[in-house]
Amino acid sequence: MGKTVILHSDVDAFYASVEMMLDPRLKGKTMAVCGSTENRHGIVLAKSYEAKARGVKTAMATWEARRACPGLICVPPQYDQYLKYSRLVRQIYLRYANDIESFGMDENWIAVEGGGSVRKGGLEVAEEISQTIKDELGLTVSIGVSFSKVFAKLGSDMNKPNGITVLDEENWREKVWPLPVSELLYVGQARTRKLMSRKVYTIGDLARIDVELLRSWFGKNGLMLWAFANGLDSARVCPMDYVVPIKSVGHGTTCVVDLDNEYAVWLVLYELAQDVGARLRENELAARGVQLTVKDKDLGWRQYQMTLKVTTQSALEIAQSVFTLFKARYNWIKPVRALTVCGINLVSNNQPVQLDLFNNAERREKARKMDSAIDEIRRRFGYGAICAASLMGDLKMAQDKCETVVMPNMMYQ
């Protein structure tokens, strides 16, 4: 049996490509998928390669993109379609492998078992996958082929669009080490600035740094980055049915107008906590702590957290806790633009709870049963079938549901 070859397949300009496939009139045009301006998501989510050549960038404000590219065609996102085609692409991958790991809606690692050498076995499968997706779905993918997940991911970014890049044991140093250090997985803007301030400009520079020095700069993450740069990543592609352990449950939103008073903030927090509580109950988990992230109107952000005296799945208790945090910590120098609520330090809901004299166990049990009844009503008749009276008014939350598209953002190791 041959060795495992790892592919990383990335659908090119995914949102934009799906829109062009659904509406062929958009093909070859300078177009971008943009969030709703009315809902404060007025940024570029994806763009065609023609728009990219004219200076349009992902996360650019829509008005700024139109200024850079006069005549830019802006279309609203269709998340249901993106989820549909994400599933269809993964079904094609399943014809070639059993171990497939998502890294976002449009990216997947694929472990090809018994594929022989990276160049022979892996390249052949990559070519078949690329052609099949193009023929059946009208989309193109860029694929990296390598002996590690990190280099496969790196390879998929090197020859876009519709390209295949092989990084094997013989050529990876020649191709990888000259690249900017920012190209390496998990080297974001902050780490790039820190590394460049220490004269680490390329992946090769990072590979040659003393590993203990990197540990002193970044802790255990420094060891991880050094291993990545030296081709020592040994992480496997997780099995298709592997369920990543849930470490936190959160929900956030960008508000349709800036919030300038505590009651408006409370309503948004309570609505966000509805989803957090429901997902905790669905997964039979309870939170021992809560975390609140606040983004102000100038996009500055702050994050606060606290430990709870009693574990909870209750939306009301979660909302009350994060609201307490907000009132105690936010100084109101600027209005609030966005909020995120998380349940953290999760434990099984079946774990015994130590009660005290200040908690009414009978009342908590009645509240738990009420929450379960609400879950069942919403499951049968839709989310809007029942809600708190206070949330029926003018809730300053976006309604385009882009926050419901949540994908993994860390690779399995």
The catalytic residue positions are 107
d(CA 14, CA 162): 12
Q: Which helix (H) or strand (E) holds 194?
A: helix 189-197
* Edge-first strand listing for the sheet containing 301-312: 249-259, 336-348, 285-296, 301-312
d(CA 377, CA 276): 17
Contact 411, 101 (CB under 8 A): yes
Q: What is the DSSP letter of 384?
A: G
Contact 163, 174 (CB under 8 A): no
Question: Backbone phi, then psi, for 276, in 5-degree steps?
Answer: -60, -45
Distance linking the first and last C-alpha atoms of the chain: 23
Contact 313, 371 (CB under 8 A): yes
- Of 115, 178, 191, 124, the C-alpha closest to 147 is 115
d(CA 301, CA 291): 13
CA torsion 311-316-319-320 (nearest 10°) is -80
Q: Is the dihedral of CA 114, 118, 119, 123 positive or negative?
A: positive
Q: Is the dihedral of CA 277, 281, 283, 287 positive or negative?
A: positive
- Of 404, 344, 395, 396, the C-alpha closest to 80 is 404
Contact 5, 112 (CB under 8 A): yes
Total Cβ atoms within 10 A of residue 245: 6
Q: Which token pair is 165?
A: 């890049």
d(CA 147, CA 260): 53
Count of alpha carbons within 13 angstroms of residue 157, beta-carbon side: 15
Q: What is the DSSP letter of 24?
A: G
Angle at 46 between CA 42 and CA 47, to 5 degrees: 110
